[in-house]
Amino acid sequence: MSTSSPDKASNPITHALQLARETLPPMHPAGRPFVAGGVAATLLLRRLWKPLGPAGALATLAVAAFFREPKRVPPERDGLVLAAADGIVSLIEEAAPPPELGLPAEPRMRVSVFLSVFDVHVQRVPATGVVERVAYRPGKFLSADLDKASDDNERNSLLLRTGDGHELVVVQIAGLVARRILCQVADGDKVRAGDTYGLIRFGSRVDIYLPPGSEVLVRKGQRTIGGETPLAALPERGA
């Protein structure tokens, strides 16, 4: 007779923990100090007045949810530009890329995605390639859904070159409430489509400037999923 231990999956507590890990998305490391501060504040509030404890706990959970970083599976098809963020497509228009990148001031098709405070706020790499330049520019904190937010607001721009030689520009733009842009890549880094590369705290916008000849695959008002939704198809090499 076998004397092996029972299958761990038969343990209801172990099974519940496994389901929790599979259901609840992990948290971006940038959120850990905020959550730790929320836990400390909750304990302090509970000591001061017990009914304040649940309110502090709910606020801490909301902060943890804001910094969530769910796993994403990019499409296998080559030649796609993926959404860099979760949100709503707010603008599809031609515009010159940010001047701090040193690119020609010729208009390119720009797709803007607006993030509300309820959206996932990590940014994803739109295509596999090499980061050629990262440029930060301070600015205002206008509402990110305004057209002029791309020009006036604080932003961090990324110039990415794909394996086929296409240039993509991805711009993180601070919003009305946002006060911090985090970028985790640097000049020369090799990146993969769908990987997390940055974060904007509390309401923001992400612009992607496409190379000439690209085919836009989304419409204004459409919801995007960062790292999964195809925004555009790149032109064939030599086209």
DSSP calls for 11-69: SHHHHHHHHHHHHSPPB-GGGHHHHHHHHHHHHHHHHH-TTHHHHHHHHHHHHHHHTB-
Separation between Cα atoms, residue 135 and residue 158, nearest integer Å: 7
Distance, in Å, from the CA atom of 80 to the CA atom of 62, rounded to the nearest integer, reads 33
Calpha distance 123→134 (Å, rounded): 15
Q: Is 150 a catalytic residue?
A: no
* Catalytic residue selected from 112, 150, 157, 204: 204
- The Cα–Cα gap between 22 and 7 comes to 19
Is the Cβ–Cβ distance between 219 and 137 less than 8 Å?
A: no
Closest alpha carbon to 158 in 178, 179, 133: 133
Beta-carbon neighbour count of residue 93 at 10 Å? 12
Catalytic residues: 204
